[in-house]
A = this chain, B = another copy of it.
């Protein structure tokens, strides 16, 4: 598998849940098929949107198996292995590789207090312990460490990682990452996790995007990306503005946690579109209340996206 397989729209797949709290694998299969038919270029299993840190190990492995089976080799599947130590990441990653994952993505250590040399050695240890390409997931809002562009490109040049999902929200760092990566001969595929500015990030050279709201509306992202790749930025901006109207659903919930609001809004909209059968969440998250859900449905409906 070459790193050049990794590009374009790679949605972080939502994990559908039954009302009894178990994973709804039928819905998951349906969701994966929806994304693939919409033309997405890859699949990101078990990211933050997939509620990776709310699931048992058994469920996480079964989710990868389900995604891999439905995908049937159509696009690359990148699976998230988030654990508290290098050793645990390797153990979980290898179970996901056995389940068919084409690549693994992991974060900087999340509990420990490290400098960049230690973070680099963590990624080196993980890469040495697995047999597929590794991505770095830069998400300081969750792991409270920023991966610098210098660190990432160094790891790319060493062959430790083949790409980055940047959810840091640090645009100076992102632009420098693109420039340093280009100067180094492009060892990395660089993805933005910021779903509201994919048009702008495509203009400046991002290789792709990992947009959570693509679970609700994947086609528009595919149109956006294809337009940008063809140099038609007017269309890319138009599609992004349409998506951003939809993305307002995540700002509807008030008085809820970040995870309950964000994933909850996606699920409410997906249910409204008929993509999944229930907006149920994994414990300890609870679903959004009826009034909030109704307001989200109004947005979905207003954009002509209802089932």
Residue of chain B at shortest CB distance from A182:
B241
Given contacts A113-B141, A114-B259, contact A284 B53 (CB under 8 A): no
C-beta contact mask, A100-117 vs B, less than 8 Å → 1, else 0?
A: 000000010111111101
Segment with Cβ contacts to B, from A69-77, A78-86, A297-305: A78-86
Which of B54, B88, B142, B240 contacts A56 (CB under 8 A)? Answer: B88
Contact between A110 and B84, CB atoms less than 8 A apart: yes
Identify the A interface with B (CB < 8 A): 48, 52-57, 82-88, 91, 107, 109-115, 117-122, 125, 141-144, 169-172, 175-176, 179, 194, 196-197, 199-201, 203-204, 233, 237, 240-241, 244-245, 256-260, 283-286
In whole angstroms, how far apart are the Cα atoms of A120 and B117 in the complex?
31
Contact between A283 and B121, CB atoms less than 8 A apart: yes
| A113 cross-chain contacts in B, Cβ below 8 A | 141-142, 257-259
In whole angstroms, how far apart are the Cα atoms of A78 and B293 in the complex?
43
Residue of chain B at shortest CB distance from A204:
B200
Contact between A194 and B169, CB atoms less than 8 A apart: no
